[in-house]
C-alpha cells in the first residue's frame, strides 16, 4: 500500500540501526505494511507479514513479490515460520485504521458496538463490561489504564448494567464521563484511560507481547535482530526488562551462586536506551510522541523461556471474574 496515509513510526532509526538490512524478516504487526515495504526496499530478501485482523488480510491480497502476509498472532510467530529469521519487528498496539472505524468499537469519539477485538474473535469489550465482576473490571482499569478512579468507574458500570447491557462505545463513554470530574481544558477525555485498559485486556496485549518476545528468541538466527516499538509505559518496561534479562544484565537472585545455562545471554543490546521520536517526527505524526524503540541482537545460546511476570506483566487472570 504505497499510497497509504499511515506514517510508520520511528522508521528512520529502525533502518539506520538495522543496516545493512538483509535476509528474512518477520513483521509481526503488518497493519498498513509500512515496515514491511521499507524493510524489503532496504535489502531484506523476504518479509513475512503477520496480522491478526481479518480486515488487514482482506485489504492486502495483492502484495509485491518478496512480501507475504499470514493471518495470525505474533505470539505464535515461531510456529508460523519454518526458517530461521534475520529480523523480527513488532509495532505494538492498534492501527489508526482500527480506531477510526466506529464499527470496530475502539473509540469513545465514534459510536459503535462495544467490540475492540483486533482479531474479530473471542470475548469483546461488551463481554468484559457486562459479564466481568466489579473487582476484575476495577483491576483492568487500574493495571492496564493506570486509572486512579478505577473502583469508582467499575462501580458505576456495574450499577448501569443493572438497567440492561451496555452495548455501545458512546454509552460506556457517557457512564465514565458522568462519574469523573469535568476535564480541564487540554486534558484528555475522561474515558481515555478506561478505553485503553479495556482494549489491552480484550486483546490480551501484554500476554501477546510476552509470548512474542519469547517466540522471537526461538525463531531468530544468531545475529538476527529483535526490533520492538511500544506506545505504553507498561509495554516498554516489559521489553526493557526482557532485553536486560536476556542480555545477562539483570541482577541474579544470588550473585555468589555459579552462573548457570539459564543465566547465559541470548541477546546483546543494540540500543542502550529506548530511542524516541524527534520533535520533527512528532510534529508530522503525533502518534509518535509516546513511541519507544528498543533493539537487541540474537546470540548463539539456544533459546529458553522467560516468565511474563519476571518482566513485569501485571498479574490479572482474565479467565477468572466471569468473562471467559
Ligand X SMILES: C[S@@+](CC[C@H](N)C(=O)[O-])C[C@H]1O[C@@H](n2cnc3c(N)ncnc32)[C@H](O)[C@@H]1O
Judged by the rule CB under 6 A, the positions of this chain that interact with ligand X are: 6, 8, 28-29, 31-35, 50-53, 56, 73-75, 91, 93, 95, 118, 208
CB of 179 to ligand X, least distance (A): 30
Cβ proximity to ligand X, 129 vs 213, nearer residue: 213
The C-alpha cell at 86 is 534475520
Q: Which residue is nearest to ligand X (CB)?
A: 34
Smallest gap from residue 30 Cβ to ligand X (A):
6
Of 111 and 204, CB closest to ligand X = 204
The C-alpha atoms of residue 12 and residue 27 are separated, in whole angstroms, by: 16
36 vs 139 by CB, closer to ligand X: 36
Query: Exposure of 86 by Cβ count < 10 A (0-12 exposed, 13-18 middle, 19+ buried)?
Result: buried
Q: Rounded CA gap, 195 and 94, in Å? A: 12
Min dist. Cβ of residue 323 to ligand X (A): 19
- 292-298/220-230 β-pairing: antiparallel
Please state the closest distance from residue 221 (CB atom) to ligand X, in A.
21
CA separation, residue 146 to residues 140, 193, 244 (Å)? 9, 7, 24
Coil/strand/helix, residue 293: strand
Nearer to ligand X by Cβ, of 177 and 289: the residue is: 289
* Residue (24 or 166) nearer to ligand X, CB: 24
Q: DSSP assignment of 9-59, as one string?
A: TTHHHHHHHHPSP-SEEEES--TT-HHHHHHHHHT-SEEEEEES-HHHHHH
Least Å distance, CB 154 to ligand X, is: 26
Q: How far is the CB of 151 from ligand X (least distance, A)?
A: 29
User: Which three-class secondary structure state does DSSP give residue 302?
Assistant: coil
CB of 14 to ligand X, least distance (A): 10
| Contact status, residue 321 vs residue 256, Cβ threshold 8 Å | no
Choice between 35 and 242, CB closer to ligand X: 35
- Rounded to whole angstroms, how far apart are CA atoms 166 and 113? 9
Q: Measured from the CB atom, is 27 or 86 closer to ligand X?
A: 27
Amino acid at each position: 500500500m504505497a499510497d497509504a496515509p499511515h506514517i510508520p513510526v520511528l522508521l528512520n532509526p529502525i533502518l539506520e540501526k538495522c543496516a545493512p538490512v538483509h535476509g528474512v524478516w518477520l513483521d509481526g504487526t503488518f497493519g498498513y505494511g509500512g515496515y514491511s515495504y521499507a524493510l524489503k526496499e532496504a535489502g531484506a530478501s523476504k518479509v513475512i507479514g503477520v496480522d491478526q485482523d481479518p480486515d488487514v488480510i482482506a485489504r492486502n491480497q495483492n502484495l509485491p513479490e518478496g512480501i507475504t502476509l499470514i493471518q495470525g498472532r505474533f505470539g505464535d510467530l515461531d510456529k508460523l515460520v519454518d526458517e530461521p529469521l534475520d529480523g523480527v519487528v513488532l509495532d505494538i498496539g492498534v492501527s489508526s485504521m482500527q480506531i477510526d472505524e466506529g464499527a470496530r468499537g475502539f473509540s469513545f469519539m465514534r459510536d459503535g458496538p462495544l467490540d475492540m477485538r483486533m482479531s474479530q474473535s473471542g470475548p469483546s469489550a461488551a463481554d468484559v463490561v457486562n459479564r466481568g465482576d466489579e473487582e476484575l473490571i476495577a483491576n483492568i482499569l487500574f493495571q492496564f489504564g493506570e486509572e486512579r478512579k478505577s473502583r469508582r468507574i467499575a462501580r458505576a458500570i456495574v450499577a448501569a448494567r443493572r438497567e440492561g447491557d451496555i452495548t455501545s462505545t458512546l454509552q460506556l463513554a457517557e457512564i465514565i464521563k458522568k462519574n469523573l470530574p469535568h476535564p480541564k481544558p487540554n486534558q484528555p477525555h475522561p474515558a481515555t484511560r478506561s478505553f485503553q485498559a479495556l482494549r489491552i485486556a480484550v486483546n490480551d496485549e501484554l500476554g501477546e507481547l510476552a509470548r512474542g518476545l519469547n517466540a522471537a528468541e526461538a525463531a531468530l538466527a544468531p545475529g538476527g535482530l529483535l526490533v520492538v516499538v511500544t506506545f505504553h509505559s507498561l509495554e516498554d518496561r516489559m521489553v526493557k526488562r526482557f532485553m536486560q534479562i536476556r542480555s545477562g544484565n539483570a541482577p541474579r537472585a544470588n550473585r555468589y551462586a555459579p552462573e548457570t545455562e539459564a543465566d547465559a545471554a541470548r541477546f546483546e543490546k543494540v540500543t542502550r536506551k529506548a530511542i524516541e521520536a524527534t520533535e520533527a517526527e512528532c510534529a508530522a505524526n503525533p502518534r509518535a510522541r509516546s513511541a519507544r524503540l528498543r533493539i537487541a541482537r540474537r546470540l548463539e545460546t539456544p533459546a529458553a523461556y522467560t516468565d511474563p511476570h519476571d518482566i513485569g506483566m501485571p498479574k490479572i487472570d482474565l479467565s477468572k471474574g466471569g468473562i471467559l
